Amino acid sequence: MTSTPEAGTLPRVQPDELEAYRRELTGYCYRMLGSGFEAEDAVQDTMLRAWRSADRFEGRASVRSWLYRIATNVCMDMLRGRKRRARPMELGPPSPPDEGHLGGMLPEHLWVSPIPDARVFPEDGDPAEIAVARDTVRLAFVTALQHLPARQRAVLILCEVLRWPAAETAELLDTSVAAVNSALQRARATLAALPDTDRPRKVTADQASLLARYVNAFERYDMASLVTLLHEDAVQSMPPFAMWLAGARNITAWMVRPGPSECRGSRLVPVTANGCPGYGQYRRDPAGGYKAWALQVLEVSGDRIAEMHFFLDAENLFPIFGLPAHLPA
């Protein structure tokens, strides 16, 4: 940051103290906003506001609470008057594996976008705590949060995800403990009423063998092998298109249609996104090598893949995942 304090002032909080909270604030803002891009913007705005007011920080609250108060206000401002973000599965029924149903692309602000694990989890965090935290950034959970009004969303994240006491949450939100408990009860009821398809599935800890077989089948474009790795009721989405597919047979039938079959011969580069395995997918480039095509995020349930989300905004997503735009032949 280039801002500096006014002459003659000495901030009580130094920039490195603020930066220490960047990742957890990014995770908080991502859950609030449903967009990796917007979460980064919100945290940057939070840091800037905090730095500009650092000389007025009196230490009556912890630096962490102070930053969360600023971040909450930033997110509330960003959410005011806008529609909730969603996944294609929340926008309409599944389509048959026919390219005629693809439709037009949706604007970015309508769909939940992925975020790299490295942006929201600490490098040296407790593995058990990180394993629990992964469930709270999964696409289905973040999408479910978008059904809540902003204030209920903040209360649920602070109390249920981050385990803040109700009294501390009430202080942050300038409200009463009773109001926090009431908002939390309403938020829980709303999430409990959502269809099962809008909730995260149980995740298997050891996925290495399954993922290795997935990469092998996808890169060889062997649909006979790929279909055996999917749950019978697996789903596939392709944001920013609203079209989505239900059923392993429909998914593999779609992949061999003229347009999707251009993915034949792709290369996959592993990433982690939203607490899940993922891949940067590169399609063959007629000019040579392979060009960025999609950011895949997979949900694994039991011993098979339950969900496949192919985010096609490679130009914007690949840089934040540290993926190059092109691979050599």
Does any domain span residue 190? Answer: no
Does any domain span residue 254? Answer: yes
Closest CA to 238 of 312, 144, 182: 312
At residue 124, the pLDDT reads 80
At residue 27, the pLDDT reads 97
Could you list the residue range(s) of the whole structural domain that residue 27 is in?
1-82
Q: What CATH number should be reported for the domain holding residue 73?
A: 1.10.1740.10
* pLDDT tens readout for residues 257-284: 999 999 999 999 999 999 999 999 999 9
At residue 9, the pLDDT reads 42
Is residue 85 within 8 A of residue 146, CB to CB? The reply is: yes
Does any domain span residue 278? Answer: yes
Q: What CATH number should be reported for the domain holding residue 295?
A: 3.10.450.50
- Counted domains in the chain: 2
Stretches in the chain below the pLDDT threshold 50: 1-11
Is residue 244 within 8 A of residue 94, CB to CB? The reply is: yes
How far is the first Cα of the chain from the last one, in angstroms, to the nearest whole number? 39
Q: Which residues contact 116 (CB under 8 A, 6 or more apart)?
A: 36, 271, 272, 273, 320, 321, 322
* pLDDT tens readout for residues 27-41: 999 999 999 999 999
